[in-house]
Each structure stands twice: as structure tokens, then as C-alpha cells.
Homo-oligomer: A and B are copies of this chain.
């Protein structure tokens, strides 16, 4: 049987996994809201972020409490300190889903996504969701192969991000500055959401191996 201290430590891990799952769900719904100009769904994503913020505050308080009362050493200490960094990353993933939903809300009843970019944005949403959920799996399993896979998923996201710019800068772009602003922001939000989820996976890898996953670590 686990003692109360290790139960609390496990509880922090569970909370981080739950935050990843919520971020994945939020970015998926925000993408639908963007594509379908679905105002109700956008509002739902925006309101739902309060659950993520509440988890953030709870996990932070628990981790500080354990640090202060239990004076953990070595492995447990690294886990707690790393958790206090991961919880910041995961809180940000939730914020980026909200930013996407706010673009949908601002442009409603129109869609912020021009027809020729619908498939790219859809794929960015799916990739972001996959990365967020996988980040949770990496926290739960400490599976380094999965962490490496996630870094490759992020390369897919970077390619999709570049595709947005290629389309906007082509002579056939007919949607003017307003659509370009929205798509530039949305692209940035998807990319950053994925970066933060990848940062979580990198932190787990660092925890397990003591080595950074690759040289791009500081970019994440």
C-alpha cells in the first residue's frame, strides 16, 4: 500500500495528466468552433478554461505543500520541481485553446478560416490535440519512445504552420489583411500550444535520463 506522501505525489501526476487531456479536448473543440463559426462551442471552450486554471492552482499548492512539509530528496525532489514547471506549460496550453476560441467568437458569424486553408487548420487542430494527449501519456508512462514521437509530431505542426504563410503570401490570396491577421495569430497559437506540450514531454525525458531530449530544448 502507498503511504499518504506517495499518494499525494501520484495525485500531482494524475492532475497533470488530466490537464493534458483537457487541453487536447479544448483545442479540438476550438478548432471546430473556428472552422464552423460555432459561437456556442467557442464560449464553452472559453468558460471551460477555468477548470484548467483551478487544477493549476490546486497542483501548485499541493506541490509547494509537499516540498515544504516533506523535504523530499533526490528523485522525488526533481519530480516535484519539474511538476511545478510542467503545470505552467499545461496551463498555457489551455490559454492557447482559449485564444483560438476567441478568434472564432470575434469573427462570428463569419468563419475566420478561408476555404483554401480549412484542411490545413483542421490538421493543425488534430495535430495539437494528439500532441497534448500524448504529453499526458508521457507523464503517466514515462515512455521515452513516445516522448520522441511527440517531437516528430511537432515537426508536422511546424510544416503545417509554414503552409499557412505560403498560402497567405501567394499572389492568389484574396482575403486581405484582416484574414491574414487572424490566420497568423491562429497559426502562432497552434504552434505554441504544441511547443508547450512538447516541453512537458522534454521535461519528463530530462527527469528520467538527466539528458535533454535534443538540442532544440531551449526553443520549446
Tell which of A21-29, A129-137, A139-147, A176-184 binds the partner: A176-184
Query: Which A residues between 55 and 69 are near B, CB-CB below 8 angstroms?
Result: 56, 64, 67-68
- Is A95's CB under 8 angstroms from B188's CB? no
Nearest-neighbour CB distance to chain B for A104, whole angstroms, equals 17
Query: Which A residues between 29 and 45 are near B, CB-CB below 8 angstroms?
Result: none
With a CB–CB cut-off of 8 A, which chain B residues contact A188? 185, 188
Size of the A side of the interface (Cβ < 8 Å), in residues, is 31
Determine whether A150 belongs to the interface, using a CB cutoff of 8 Å to chain B: no
Partner of A91, one of B64, B91, B165, B218: B218
Determine whether A78 belongs to the interface, using a CB cutoff of 8 Å to chain B: yes
Q: Secondary structure at chain A's binding surface: helix, strand, loop or mixed? A: helix
With a CB–CB cut-off of 8 A, which chain B residues contact A175? 177
Partner of A184, one of B56, B64, B185: B185
Q: In the bound complex, what is the Cα–Cα distance between A74 and B91 (angstroms)?
A: 25
Determine whether A88 belongs to the interface, using a CB cutoff of 8 Å to chain B: yes
Q: In the bound complex, what is the Cα–Cα distance between A181 and B173 (angstroms)?
A: 13
Determine whether A85 belongs to the interface, using a CB cutoff of 8 Å to chain B: yes
With a CB–CB cut-off of 8 A, which chain B residues contact A180? 177, 180-181, 184
Identify the 8 closest CB pairs spanning chains A and B, nearest first: A177-B180, A184-B184, A180-B180, A181-B184, A53-B218, A168-B177, A180-B181, A173-B177
